[in-house]
Amino acid sequence: MLAPVEKAAAHLQKLEADRLAAIAVSEEKAEEAKLIKARQEGFRQAMEMLGVEPSAGVTELERSRPNRRKRRNIPGLILTELSFSGNAMTTNQIVAAIDYLPERTEKALKSMESSGQIVRDRNGRWAAVIVTAAQANGHAVATDNEQSTIISNGRAGYVSPQSATPQRA
């Protein structure tokens, strides 16, 4: 039976042999790529001598994907719009602000509502839920034509200009 030191040395030698084999393979692949490139250049020159213009799409490999837009964080965009506007917004206003599909915006809004990120008032307007320590007693301030969203005991409510008492969502 081999001692642990001998096992480690044997393993180290095997790893070194594997590394050298990988280098040899990569050198072969690099040489193969050079030969293919030379054949490609020779064929391109032959086409030019025949008066045929080689097209870039045929002779060059496209390495990048077609231009795809990065996925946008729709819930994040909705929260940003609602937070920056300071007022409750209709679904159509949110759709226009974030430049997104109405049905998918509605789906995102409902999902966010069920997770407690936003609330919907009686008029169908959406507002961001804002929790602050200063409003622990459930009081909030609303201007004459605004409706404030408050949180009291973990539940969202509204203070409308017409009533001074919060209504539950």
28-79 tens-digit pLDDT? 888 899 999 999 988 888 888 888 877 655 445 545 566 777 889 999 999 9
Q: Strand pairing partners for 89?
A: 126
CATH assignment, 74-168: 1.10.10.10
Domain ranges of the chain: 4-59, 74-168
pLDDT of 113-163, one tens digit each?
A: 999 999 999 999 999 987 765 555 555 554 444 455 554 444 455 544 444
141: tokens are 């301030």
10: tokens are 């044997």
Q: What pTM value is reported for the model?
A: 0.42
